[in-house]
């Protein structure tokens, strides 16, 4: 089964640090539901934010849209769950 790592934070938060391989889709974007509905529903989703709050709300929303395999994490939990590293932006 395929897996998608979904970062539901703002683009600025994503740029500062993110789990390698994650797709950024801001949960607070008014088009979140429409955009996420375009994703395949038959894959595993690892959804994360900084601490897990937005990820939990996003996962709940995704489940109401028909996604069945969705787990919410904070960023470090998502890193552990996927085995992917967290990339940090380097300051100039």
Q: What is the per-residue pLDDT for 65? A: 97
For residue 6, give the nearest of 88, 72, 83 by alpha carbon. 72
Number of domains in the chain: 1
pLDDT at 66: 97
CATH number at residue 40: 3.40.250.10
Q: Is 49 tagged catalytic?
A: yes
CA–CA separation, 73 and 80 (whole Å): 10
pLDDT at 90: 75
Q: What is the pLDDT along the chain (92 residues), one digit of tens a residue?
A: 699 999 999 999 999 999 999 999 999 999 999 999 999 999 999 999 999 999 999 999 999 999 999 999 999 999 999 999 999 987 66
**Would you state the pLDDT for residue 1?**
61
Indicate which residue of 22, 25, 46, 49 is catalytic. Answer: 49
What is the spatial distance between Cα 7 and Cα 1, in angstroms, rounded to a whole number? 20
Domain carrying residue 15: 3-88
């Amino acid at each position: 089964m395929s897996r998608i790592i979904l970062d539901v934070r703002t683009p600025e938060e994503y740029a500062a640090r993110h789990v390698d391989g994650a797709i950024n889709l801001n949960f607070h974007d008014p088009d979140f539901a429409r955009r996420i509905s375009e994703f395949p529903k038959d894959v595993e989703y690892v959804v994360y934010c900084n601490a897990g709050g937005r990820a939990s709300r996003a996962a709940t929303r995704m489940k109401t849209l028909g996604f069945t395999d969705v787990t919410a994490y904070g960023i470090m939990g998502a890193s552990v769950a996927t085995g992917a590293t967290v990339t940090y932006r380097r300051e100039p």
